[in-house]
Amino acid sequence: MSRKDLEIARHSAFLSGLPEGVRARLLSRAHVRRLGRGVPVFLQGDEALYFQIVVEGWVKLYRLTRGGDEALIDVLGAGLCITDPRALDGARHALSCETCAECRIVLLDPGAVRACPEARAALADAVLRLRDGQMERMIRQLERLKLMSASQRLATFLLETGRFLGQPVEFILPYDKHLLAAHLGMKPESLSRAFGRLRAFGVTGAQKQVRISDVGALRAHCLQEAEVLAAA
């Protein structure tokens, strides 16, 4: 595992709160999976053998409906843990996961700490924090679906993604627009209209390239529209 992968995993939300000894024990047995785009990471019903942290690329979490349709749950990038928190107890994945870009994923074996009661207790606390973080993320997504228009959800995504990538003014969308539309809870044609509306606030680009000429105006648009919708 490269030093870069090690540092991203070490400072992830999941591992950063662990005592150094527990973190070191987990990382000592960690290894990296390198996957291309569109490759399954795990499937719904598979045994959760590892905690998995994305260190490069993006993955999507989804469930299959009884009719065989794919219901997108979330899209996660570097530094985030994608495993069911119950992996500590060898539970089965409630969701499926697939890469939506080339990825590197660090696999952490819970068996590295199961034999040590103190380490297991610390890891159990980290699992609870992971579950709380996932719940907060889902609540934020539901709030946006309920309170924000399509253009406001897109604007929020662009601002957050630019900040996440360290390129707040100009960047390449991390995955295709069809997946982006599903992630934001809209149809592809609605996404196109939302991009069109955001031109008035300095958003331009072609294909997957995005440029934000006035970050302040775009942020103000988000806040203003959110306040109007919340008051309606």
Residue carrying structure tokens 């331009």? 204
Supply the angle between the helices 117-147 and 215-231 in degrees, to the nearest 10.
80
Please state the domain extents for the chain: 3-138, 148-231
Position 116 scores a pLDDT of 76
pTM: predicted TM-score of the whole model, two decimal places: 0.82
Position 225 scores a pLDDT of 52
CA 224 vs CA 133, 162, 217, 229: distances in Å: 27, 20, 10, 9
Written as one string, the DSSP assignment of 182-205 is HHTTS-HHHHHHHHHHHGGGTEE-
**pLDDT per residue as tens digits for the range 140-174:** 888 888 888 899 999 999 998 888 888 888 899 98
Intervals of the chain under pLDDT 70: 85-88, 90, 115, 225-232
Q: Which CATH class is domain 148-231?
A: mainly alpha
Per the CB < 8 A criterion, the answer to whether 161 and 171 are in contact is yes
Pick the CATH number of 3-138 from 3.30.420.40, 2.60.120.10, 3.30.300.10, 3.30.479.30: 2.60.120.10
Position 117 scores a pLDDT of 80
Position 87 scores a pLDDT of 67
Position 88 scores a pLDDT of 66
Position 143 scores a pLDDT of 85
Domains 3-138 and 148-231 alike in fold: no
